[in-house]
Amino acid sequence: MNYFQKNKIKTIESVLTVVGGDVVYGAGEYNKLNPQLPALSQARLQ
């Protein structure tokens, strides 16, 4: 069974991505589930 029409598949966007049981990306209403990014240090920039 084909669930997607070929002309609409290009417009699909992820709103929630889970890897290994952890949320790694959330958009829209799931934005609050995004993990916090680590703080940048000067050592990482050099």
Predicted confidence (pLDDT) per residue in 1-45, tens digit: 677 777 777 888 889 999 999 999 999 999 999 988 888 777 655
The band of 46, judged by pLDDT with boundaries at 50, 70 and 90, is: low
| pLDDT of res. 6 | 77
DSSP state of 39: P
pLDDT given at position 43: 66
Kindly report the pTM of this predicted structure. 0.58
**What are the residue ranges of helices labelled H in the chain?**
42-45
DSSP-assigned beta bridge partners for residue 18: 23
